[in-house]
Amino acid sequence: MGNIRQILVSVAVLCAGLAGCAGNDNALPNTNVFRPTPLQSSSNGMLYIYRPEASTPGVAKPLRFSYPEVLVDDRSVGVIEYNRYLSVELPPGQHKIRLTGLTEKAKDWETRDIYQVVTITPGDSTFRRFKIEFDLDNMNLFQPKSQYRIFLTPVDANDAIYEIRYTRPMK
């Protein structure tokens, strides 16, 4: 009888502890929040290039360990790794973006360069999604190399913040 009482007391203590953990007071903070990079000058704008996780089913993610270098106006601003983002403060006007594997900083990036022109507005944030997916429509089981669908797409700021929040900044 003593063992049953000890078990019941242990279960009651465990339930009380679990109920306390379920309350909002002890909840962990939401870490999936995008914190914009502060502008150094209000006359400039911020360009974000983010590379979200691929939606391809399964464990294999396309080009997960490969990445291009990002050049803005022929000047390196870093590389863009999987599930990361870059923020670049730029003066207003048009700027040339180039994602390339033809530099020493790029890692195992064999696809052709991507070129785009972006217009920066003072005080605003401009977002580009760098998305890479397996091209499942053009791949088969016995193919020696994977095929990819690669896009650098303009995204409205109100939509981008819901995707970029799951990425981490490049350092």
Domain boundaries, the chain: 45-169
**First-last CA distance in the chain:** 62
pLDDT at 134 over 70: yes
Q: How many CB atoms lie within 10 A of CB 151?
A: 11
- Reported as a pLDDT band with limits 50, 70 and 90, residue 28 is confident
**Average pLDDT score, the chain:** 85
What pLDDT does 12 receive?
45
Q: List the beta strands (DSSP E) in the chain.
A: 45-51, 69-72, 75-79, 84-90, 93-100, 114-120, 125-134, 148-155, 168-169
pTM of this prediction? Answer: 0.79
What pLDDT does 25 receive?
53
Closest CA to 150 of 171, 170, 133, 167: 133
